[in-house]
Amino acid sequence: MKNCKIMLVFFTGLFGMIWEVAATRLFIPYFGDNTIIFSSVISVFMAGIALGYWRGGVLADKEKTTKQLSRYMTIAAVLSFFLLFVHPILFLVIKAGIKNIYLQVLLSCLIFLPGSTVAGMVMPYIIKKAVKKKEIIASSVGKIAALSTVGSIVGTLAAGFWIIPNIGTTTILYSIPIFLLIIGIIINHDRFLFTRLIVIAVIIRVAILPMDKTMSIILGVDIVDVIDTKYSKYLVYEREYNDKKTIIYTNDPQNAQSIKYVNDNNPVEGFYIDWFSLYKYFHKDPVANVLMLGAGGMVFPEFFAKNHSDSHIDVVEIDSAVIEIAKKHFRYKNPGNIDISISDARNYIENHTGNKYDLVFMDVFGSNATIPFHLTTKEYFEKLAYIMKDNGTLVFNVVTMKDNRLIEALLTTMSHSFGNCYAFPVEQVNPKMKTQNVILVAEKQKKRKSIHITGEPKLDKILKTYNQTLYKQGMELTDNFAPVKYLINYGS
């Protein structure tokens, strides 16, 4: 039992780092994939560990038994389980009411500070038990600290390379209260053993539910599938739209990334197909080769391919699971003129040696709050323009929050590689989330088009949103400095 208790230090370090890596994914759908998330989660975990070291040392000196530590473990486990279960509601309510850059620190403290604190309390108790002879105190402490560090290294590598892609974020995070309860049983199993085992059974049952019931309640929809990959967690659900049942997939609880009627192949109005129709206005020449960065549910690529049977379409998607979602839930079938590449968009562009493209469509937002910064820089647009024909056109779907700073930065940056750039804010600002879709169109040719009505209602509705004086000169985004995620989430 002595060696078993010492090994708790290793497993505390191992599980602690797995939780840290997985915890960042809990925030990304709501706040974007940005450095503030990582700083918030890591600092809270480290603060909890430090607090645990201090409090655990005090208790270890005062108490001869581990009853108090065991009791703390049980309380923290129950609290962590409850907060994890309600975190979607918690995140949405707090985010809607508080607009502050430090909000993620607050939420990290609420959810992860109790568990990380009691986990940190383990080491002082183990050291107290291990150092019985004064002459070996230093070596004993050194071995225990090394054991904890090795556990942290193993946990970090395991989380990124194997555990998250194969097990999923939800299951990992629900293991936090389970692990705390198991530690409590190991260090002191004299009291409340049956109660703790019941709580463990309840948590396991919730963790292995086939659907995300909490999210289902929030969205008011029927969850069809939940897919957790090394890149993201996707929800597939059904809901009524335009008096018809639709299938939707998203990794952002507040928005739909792809939508399609369940029993109808006609496009759903008001989504990508309408917005991307701007290419008809700007590109009058024959379309031989098309590049689409971001597959979504393959709704737009399939629609475009069927209506341009003489065109060849290359679709680039970083996550193979998205293509499987398209096949399984969105009835995607290749019309015969689509090639799909599983790759990072920039890597694909830098290694492309084939025909140059007439049209490029970009829809690469991971959620409403995140876009890969390396797909927004001056260097990126230079490489993208190079693989496009001289009369090539880029259509770029951008989601912004709060103000125009991101759009202004993108227009300024794109202008170095494209002759003309236009912005079309196709939706009114959401008063609660202050989000807005803006379609950016960039032409390689120098002659600027005047925007006028065409007589096509859907297209004209978008064209009417053009306002040449709406956006000012913005900052230039480069590989060295491109704070796009800050601009999206926090604006001015």
In a domain, 392, yes or no: yes
Write down the pLDDT at residue 211: 44
Tell me the residue range of the domain where 149 lies.
2-209
Q: Is residue 462 located within the same domain as residue 319?
A: yes
Q: Is residue 256 located within the same domain as residue 277?
A: no
Q: Is residue 319 located within the same domain as residue 364?
A: yes
Q: Is residue 197 located within the same domain as residue 313?
A: no
Write down the pLDDT at residue 210: 45
In a domain, 283, yes or no: yes
Q: Domain of 400: which CATH number?
A: 3.40.50.150
Q: Is residue 38 located within the same domain as residue 88?
A: yes
Q: Is residue 297 located within the same domain as residue 413?
A: yes
In a domain, 72, yes or no: yes
Q: Is residue 225 located within the same domain as residue 103?
A: no
In a domain, 397, yes or no: yes
Q: Is residue 337 located within the same domain as residue 446?
A: yes
In a domain, 378, yes or no: yes
Write down the pLDDT at residue 190: 64
Q: Which of 261, 294, 329 is the last residue of a domain?
A: 261
In a domain, 267, yes or no: no
In a domain, 266, yes or no: no
Q: Is residue 257 located within the same domain as residue 392?
A: no
User: If DSSP states are collapsed to H, E and C, what string results for the chain?
Assistant: CHHHHHHHHHHHHHHHHHHHHHHHHHHHHHHCCCHHHHHHHHHHHHHHHHHHHHHHHHHHHHCCCCHHHHHHHHHHHHHHHHHHHCHHHHHHHHHHHCCCCCHHHHHHHHHHHHHHHHHHCHHHHHHHHHCCCHHHHHHHHHHHHHHHHHHHHHHHHHHHHHHHHHHCHHHHHHHHHHHHHHHHHHHCCCCCHHHHHHHHHHHHHHHCCCCCHHHHHHHCCEEEEEEECCCCEEEEEEEEECCEEEEEEECCCCCCCEEEECCCCCCCCCCHHHHHHHHHHHCCCCCCEEEEECCCCCHHHHHHHHHCCCCEEEEEECCHHHHHHHHHHCCCCCCCCEEEEECCHHHHHHHCCCCCEEEEEECCCCECCECCHHHCCHHHHHHHHHCEEEEEEEEEEEEEECCCHHHHHHHHHHCCCCCEEEEEECCCCCCCCCEEEEEEEEECCCCCCCCCCCCCHHHHHHHCCCCCCCCCCCCCCCCCCCCHHHHHHHCC
Q: Is residue 243 located within the same domain as residue 198?
A: no
In a domain, 192, yes or no: yes
pTM of the model: 0.80
Q: Number of structural domains, the chain?
A: 3
Q: Is residue 170 located within the same domain as residue 310?
A: no
Q: Is residue 239 located within the same domain as residue 130?
A: no
Q: Domain of 103: which CATH number?
A: 1.20.1250
pLDDT tens by residue, the chain, 492 residues: 456 667 778 888 888 888 888 888 777 777 766 677 888 889 999 999 999 999 888 888 887 667 777 888 888 888 888 777 777 766 666 666 555 667 778 888 888 888 888 888 888 888 887 776 555 577 778 888 899 899 999 999 988 888 877 777 777 888 878 887 887 787 776 666 667 677 777 766 665 554 455 555 555 667 778 777 777 778 888 888 878 888 988 877 667 788 898 888 777 877 767 788 889 899 888 899 999 999 988 999 999 999 999 999 999 999 999 999 999 999 999 999 999 999 999 999 999 998 999 999 999 887 666 788 899 999 999 999 999 999 999 999 988 765 688 889 999 999 999 999 999 887 655 444 566 788 999 999 887 778 888 888 888 888 888 877 777 888 999 999 988 877 776 554
